[in-house]
Amino acid sequence: MSVKYMILGGLMFNCSHGYEIKSQMAQKVTGEFGINDGQLYPTLKKLEEEGLVVKTVEHQTGAPSRHIYSITDKGRKDFEAWLESSEGEDRAFRYDFFRKDIFCIKSNFIRFLGKKKAAEKIQRQIEIVQSIIADLAIAIKHMKERKVDPLHIKIWEYGIMNYKTRLRWLKQFLQEVNKWRK
């Protein structure tokens, strides 16, 4: 994930101050993307130095001044060039399901837990995934109520589809574990 292009993409919609950029970009999932103040503000500063964004200061009575960021024409062109490119789309993540998914890595060795503990571990994963699906469904409902761009909603629907596939796999995995003799 490119923090630079997440920020520029967010600014393509409208001007924002730092906190708003951070909360708009991924609200609940920001932590998972790993975007924190330590990345956001230095990136904004760099984008400003490169002429991709401009900052204006909005003075407020009784509150700290806000720094409002806007994308420049140069920033739009840079963002559009990135968007048109195939950079990072080569499915380099094809093994991420295995390499970056700790549960999948542990599943290779789950037999060493024994039947009962393995089944309990899988059942916990099932509950986690069901909770995520429910959470994403609520988020989509709220997006529809706020009339969020249907293309954004489609991305979240893709997320639900992925988790439903994982849920189906977990249930099948649990069935296999339950076939064990011990």
Q: What is the pLDDT of residues 56-86, one digit of tens each?
A: 888 888 888 888 889 999 999 999 998 888 7
Per-residue pLDDT tens over the stretch 83-132: 888 777 766 666 676 777 889 889 989 988 989 999 999 999 999 999 99
CB 5 within 8 A of CB 77: no
**pTM beyond 0.75, yes or no:** no
| Distance between CA atoms of residues 19 and 64, nearest Å | 13
∠ CA(73), CA(74), CA(79), 5° rounding? 95
pLDDT at 32: 45
Residues with Cβ < 8 Å from 177, sequence gap 6 or more?
Answer: 110, 115, 118, 119, 122
